[in-house]
Amino acid sequence: MTLADQLRARIDSSGPLRLDAWMAACNRAFYAGADPLGRDFTTAPEISQMFGEMIGGWIGDLWLRAGAPAFDLVELGPGRGTLLADALRVLRRLPGFAAAVRVQLVETSDVLRDAQAARLAGWPVQWHADLAELPGDRPLILIANEFFDALPIRQRKDGQERHVGIAGDAFVPMWRVSPGPDAEWSEASTAIMAGLAARLERQGGAALIIDYGHDGGSHGDTLQALKGGARACPFADPGAHDLTAHVDFGALAAAAQGLACHGPVGQGAFLAELGIAARAAALKSGKLPAQAATITAALHRLTAPQQMGAIFRVAAVTAPGWPAPAGFGMAAA
Ligand code: SAH
């Protein structure tokens, strides 16, 4: 039975599916299929090694200032494992780091787990389907890059909530009465953030969240589907493309009870403060002009405001007693 058949059967028996149920089912199938990264979309760590290296610097700085404790380095939705591979190449040079770290990956896709295992060979890696499975005996430093945007959302407009039904052969959006203000929100995201905040408060540590999104307030319908790098209809071909929505950083901060929040700031400003320009210059030295041009182009793509520098936002939360993290301007002073 294809996913479309399963969804049709569900709708036939219990009526239109609420948007979050539709999105969860579609994305589970999408990420369980062939490796989507590079085919349907690309992400910052896949653009350049500089991205993961900067995050490695961020982790190392925080870990050292926290007193270099034994800890769990966690990534939510690690994709191909590229970010952590680049970060760990930087971090392994720190005395005592390799002995202090365990790597914990939260990933639901078996295809991507295999890619992560290959990329992170040699490190002590464990996989989990859910944040709730993480060990509870050490502080955590957690990274989530383009993770929250894939989590299910709900939408309400004019006293009706968006569902997905069937008209003829096609899946179509349908609206059902639901009193309340116009909104787009992600209960899945705020639940994860609340669970994470409770853990960080207990275990110590910090989380770094990078995604495209906004700082709160109303932004209308931000649901989109991408296939082969182009926009597609979110209600056609379930499971064939990535469904995403803009991340509401204001809602995530509100869910991070008991923690200090830093940012959000633009990805361009964050990476600039961590020294990405100097890293690009070092990588370019001695390279052929064409290779140097590729590095310059990657730097531009990651940091320019009209590229990923402004729409991608970076926020961090830290547990009580943990130092303020680098990259957030005055907050880090
Ligand atoms: N962080 C990576 C990949 C981003 S794509 C990068 O920057 O390249 C989103 C990732 O989240 C994929 O690894 C996907 O399989 C994973 N994912 C999506 N929904 C998930 C869920 N509910 N639980 C765990 N992992 C999930």
Q: What is the pLDDT of residue 330?
A: 52
Q: What are phi and psi of 43, to 5 degrees?
A: -130, 165
Distance between Cα 165 and ligand 1 center (Å): 27
Q: What is the CA 108 to chain-centroid distance, rounded?
A: 14
The answer for residues whose C-beta is within 8 angstroms of residue 212's C-beta and 6 or more apart is 146, 149, 246, 247, 308, 311, 312, 313
Ligand 1 binding pocket includes 20 (Cβ within 6 Å): no
Q: What are phi and psi of 318, to 5 degrees?
A: -130, 145
SS (H, E, C) the chain: CCHHHHHHHHHHHHCCEEHHHHHHHHHHHHHHCCCCECCCECCHHHHCHHHHHHHHHHHHHHHHHCCCCCEEEEEECCCCCHHHHHHHHHHCCCCCHHHHEEEEEECCCHHHHHHHHHHCCCCCEEEECCHHHCCCCCCEEEEEECCHHHCCCEEEECCEEEEEEEECCEEEEEEEECCCCCEEECHHHHHHHHHHHHHHHHHCEEEEEEEEEECCCCCCCCCEEEECCEEECCCCCCCCCEEECCEEHHHHHHHCCCCEEEEEEEHHHHHHHHCHHHHHHHHHCCCCHHHHHHHHHHHHHHHCHHHHHCCEEEEEEECCCCCCCCCCHHHHC
The residues of the chain scoring below 70 in pLDDT are 38, 330-333
Ligand 1 binding pocket includes 150 (Cβ within 6 Å): yes
Ligand 1 binding pocket includes 71 (Cβ within 6 Å): no
Structure tokens at 111: 């295809």
Ligand 1 binding pocket includes 43 (Cβ within 6 Å): yes
Ligand 1 binding pocket includes 108 (Cβ within 6 Å): yes
Q: What is the pLDDT of residue 230?
A: 85
Structure tokens at 48: 């350049």
Structure tokens at 30: 């999408």
Global confidence as pTM: 0.96
Distance between Cα 146 and ligand 1 center (Å): 7
Atom 3 in ligand 1: which residue has the minimum CA distance? 79
Give the atom of ligand 1 at the shortest distance from the alpha carbon of 188: 22
Dist CA 180 CA 194 (whole Å)? 23
Distance between Cα 87 and ligand 1 center (Å): 18
Considering the domain 3-274+308-318 in this protein, what is its CATH number? Answer: 3.40.50.12710
Q: Which neighbouring-strand residues pair with 171? A: 166
- Choose the residue to mutate in 27, 82, 109, 114 for probing ligand 1, maximizing ligand atoms within 8 Å of C-beta: 109
Ligand 1 binding pocket includes 116 (Cβ within 6 Å): no
Q: How far apart are the first and last CA of the chain?
A: 57
Q: What are phi and psi of 18, to 5 degrees?
A: -65, 150
Atom 6 in ligand 1: which residue has the minimum CA distance? 79
Ligand 1 binding pocket includes 109 (Cβ within 6 Å): yes
In this structure, which amino acid lies at residue 158? D
Ligand 1 binding pocket includes 318 (Cβ within 6 Å): no
Distance between Cα 75 and ligand 1 center (Å): 9
Atom 24 in ligand 1: which residue has the minimum CA distance? 107
- Choose the residue to mutate in 37, 108, 226, 243 for probing ligand 1, maximizing ligand atoms within 8 Å of C-beta: 108
| 171-180: Cβ within 8 A, 24+ apart | 171/4, 171/7, 171/235, 171/236, 171/238, 172/235, 173/235, 174/16, 176/16, 180/156
Ligand 1 binding pocket includes 113 (Cβ within 6 Å): no
Structure tokens at 169: 């052969």
Q: What is the pLDDT of residue 48?
A: 97
Ligand 1 binding pocket includes 81 (Cβ within 6 Å): no
